[in-house]
Structure 1
């Protein structure tokens, strides 16, 4: 687990999928990835929730994973989104991600079905047995309607050596303690909520799978590195620096706000695929104001350092 822990430590960016006139904008995607790498992120997460995986074709998803692997060129880990609410389809997605060169797969709980904990054990076991890649569990009850119980995490980590981590997006740091108590050091924990990154780190998580790092990769990387270096005061300053921006990225359903922020920064277009639509004018104005304040504060912060 030691080697894997070092690979999963730090900021993993949940990449958006930029679109132009309905198609994937590969130029903008490549530029976004390079910006992340220059900021020093540890991992890239294509084809996840933020990447609008639900409305990508299988061919688009596999191509984006392969492109991310090529663009990363070993500079960051590629953790590919590969979840579905059908176990057979999930396995197909995982195998496509493996074929595309991903380093690991992020597998969300089946949505809509609301499986029992026994169903989750059976689902993730089938996935783990179908791949050689490390598998990262993804618990996000606000979107999927089901949470992975700490005891279920323990069962899966004990039974399958390639189930190695969990992206925890249940909205409370208490879950980190519960998972650690159930699993010990058998399961790496990532924060799945940007605003809880620092609290999660303080109770045993080692990184974050981040939405806001699409916009502010440098500051997110600095936050985690400050914590790792024992500079808790600086980590707290950075947490407070990005707090309003983090809240702004969720004033409407993700990834609408983060795409609006990137469009305002001339980094990618605001286009989404139905049933997602661009944020309202009122939200866009709020995001513009938040982004302006953040940009000013971040520049002042970096100058002081």
Structure 2
């Protein structure tokens, strides 16, 4: 099942209008851009989507809309995580599995569970999820790092776990997972700037933020790396090097929404507590984008 989630995935933003309502026209255009650009799978309601600020009804509407717009062309992954295990499980029971291909579930945040707590949390998710599960390790956001040994323990405990989005920024931890993982368990970079290095170690792809604005270039870079053409992939990585840093210097998705605004794709609107990036960084992003082929 992990075969579905390889290559270039995109963590879709949620575009907003100036009145902060969801801009479904822009979201539909974005989905089409991803498909025509060669992206391999879509991730909806992740961190980049500002999911924490969406109501339950808005979340449902976004998933329904993307599924209808996608029309079965690409696999769809939906964010389904939290730090209240029972609440996550109840949400999974109400999941419309016919519209999606997998869920992305983050390590529980704020509570700071032990590794055993993380393991038991995910085992409950595996028990109740009607679709495959991509684990998501992002200690910079959650305050808790899932050790490589816990990742492998989970991957071996249930075939419901098909992949991990590894966003710890630690290539040594990623290498341990790659060395010890079961067959058909995908490892995906969760950091745009580490995508090519991660694939060089054996990773299977990325769940990318920058792909929202540059789907064809990111897809080509990832596909080049996965196929072993590292001179080409490295050159493409270097082209994005400054932009990788600029898009995240004042937080995500502020940077990528600014880039999409420069392209005329979306309004530069975020929901509080997030705010749009500074004018200085916006100008730097604008200038850097002119250099991208």
Same fold (TM over 0.5): yes
Partner of residue 37 from structure 2, selected from 36, 39, 57: 39
Aligned to 2:217, what secondary structure does the other structure show? helix
Does the aligned pair in 2 maintain the 1:77–1:103 contact within 8 Å?
A: yes
Instruction: State the distance in 2 between where 1:92 and 1:290 align.
Output: 45
Which one of 280, 284, 287 corresponds to residue 282 of structure 2? 284
Give the C-alpha shift of residue 172 in structure 1.
2.3
Match of 2:127 among 126, 129, 147: 129
Relative contact order, higher structure (CA 8 A, sep 6+): 2
| TM-score w.r.t. length of structure 1 | 0.92
Are the counterparts in 1 of residues 269 and 275 from structure 2 also a CA contact under 8 Å?
yes
The 3 A distance-change label for structure 1 pair 290 and 97 is farther
Q: Which residue of 2 aligns with 1:251?
A: 249
- Pairing 1:1-305 to 2, within 5 Å after superposition: 4-20=1-17, 21-99=19-97, 101-185=99-183, 187-294=185-292, 298=293
Aligned length: 292
| Runs of 4+ off more than 6 Å | none
**Match in the other structure for 1:302:** none
Verify the 8 A CA contact 1:223 1:235 in the aligned structure 2: yes
Are the equivalent residues in 2 in contact too, given 1:215–1:262 (CA < 8 A)? Answer: yes
Structure 1 Cα separation of the partners of residues 13 and 98 of structure 2: 18
1:188 Cα offset (Å): 1.2
Shift of 1:136: 0.5
* 2:291 alignment partner, SS class: helix
C-alpha distance in structure 1 between counterparts of 2:87 and 2:262, whole Å: 36
TM-align CA RMSD: 1.4
- Rounded to whole Å, the distance in 1 between the matches of 2:286 and 2:190 is 24
In structure 1, the gaps of 5 or more residues are 299-305
SS at match of 2:47: coil
Q: CA deviation at 1:18?
A: 0.5
Deviation at 1:96, TM superposition (A): 4.1
In structure 2, relative to structure 1, the CA distance for the partners of 1:11 and 1:112 (3 Å cut) is same
Distance in 1 of aligned mates of 2:148 and 2:184: 12
State the TM-score, normalizing by the size of structure 2: 0.96
Gap runs ≥5 in structure 2:
none
1:25 is displaced (CA, Å) by 0.6
- Note the C-alpha offset of 1:182: 3.3
Q: Contact 1:82 / 1:97 at 8 angstroms: preserved in 2?
A: no
Supply the distance in 1 between the matched residues of 2:255 and 2:228 (Cα, whole angstroms): 32
SS of the equivalent of 2:49 reads coil
Q: What does the per-residue CA deviation read over 1:91-117, in whole Å, with 9 as the maximum and x for residues that have no partner?
A: 233344444611100001111111110
**How many Å separate the matches in 2 of 1:247 and 1:169?**
15
